[in-house]
Every structure is written in C-alpha cells, then in structure tokens.
Amino acid sequence: MHTAARVRRTLPSPIGPLLLEVQGGAVTRLTMGSPIDPAEVDCGDGAGEDVEVADRAERQLAEYFSGHRKDFDLPLAAEGTVFQMAVWAVLRTIPCGQTRSYADVAAAVDAGRASTLARAVGQANGANPIGVIVPCHRVVTACGSIGGYAGGLAAKRWLLRHEQAGGAELWDEAASTR
C-alpha cells in the first residue's frame, strides 16, 4: 500500500518534543506529550511545497515559543467530523493570551444547543490534531480551572502562562538543544 508523500519532523519545544506533519501543502498534524518514535519521523520525501510549509511552520513555532509571534499564518488540513472542524475553527478565533470556556465555544458553534454541546466541545478539543497552532489550550472550564489537555496539564499551564505574560516567559531554542 502506497501512502502519499509527506514531511514529518520532530521539533524541540519548551513543552517537550513536537511532531509536525505536512502533506498536500498544509499542516495536518502537530502532536505533543507522547514519545516520538524516531523510525516514524522522516525529513521529507514530500513535495517541495510540503517542505516549504514545514519550514514555515517550524519558523513560526520557534517565533511563538520565543515570544515573537501570537498568531500562526499557515495552511491547515485537519481531518475530523463536521462538528470537530467547526469547534477547531472557533478555537482559531480565540485571541492569544485569552481563554474561553467550553460553553463559550459550544455557543459559538451552535448557540441553540450550547448547553448540550459543552461536553462534545471537550471531546473535539481532545481530538484536535494540530495542537498549539489550533489553540485548544485556550479552552478552560466555566469556573476557570484549566480542565484537561491531551498534551498534559503542565504543557497547558506553560502555554497559558506564556501567552498571558505576553511572551515574557521566553524559551531559548539553542539552550534547549544543549
């Protein structure tokens, strides 16, 4: 069975290694919090466009983690249900340094059914395949506790502190590789 060409890279970050995947000229995955099998990572048999997008994503993530970027400007192609994609679109509208509750996101997706959708929003959040770039870490509980996070609660706390401090909690990529 032949799979389409893609570019996969492991990137360092202050919340642990990230696995970036680009296919078809768009970011399809950015995962964290679980061990990355080096045998699963290739530096690209993908098309030139995929390599270019991977380079841009890597650069933009380094800028974000160093406090010099608040928003990402990358083509994205996450696979999910219609509902999940609607939730992920709402997540991208949450400004850096701010949070929204699961109920707020549910209301933005479908105001008429918001009270019944908060749990489904949490599940869609947990299924987000492009963490950090699609900022599911900005969603908290109605009472303000941070809730869950697929990448781990320590990573979610770090991301929220980093954004709320306006990037003051800087990360030096060079120091992380020493």
User: Is residue 43 annotated as part of the catalytic site, yes or no?
Assistant: no
Q: Which of 69, 46, 45, 44 is nearest to 59 (CA)?
A: 69
Catalytic member of 43, 96, 136, 143: 136
CA 149 to centroid of chain Cα atoms: 11
Considering just the CA atoms, what is the radius of gyration of the chain in Å?
A: 16
Q: For residue 174, count CB atoms less than 10 angstroms from its CB and return exposed for 0-12, middle for 13-18, buried for 19 or more.
A: exposed
Instruction: Report the alpha-carbon distance of residue 119 to residue 117 in Å, rounded.
Output: 6
Q: What is the dihedral of CA 161, 164, 166, 169, to 10 degrees?
A: -10
Q: Which residues are catalytic?
A: 136
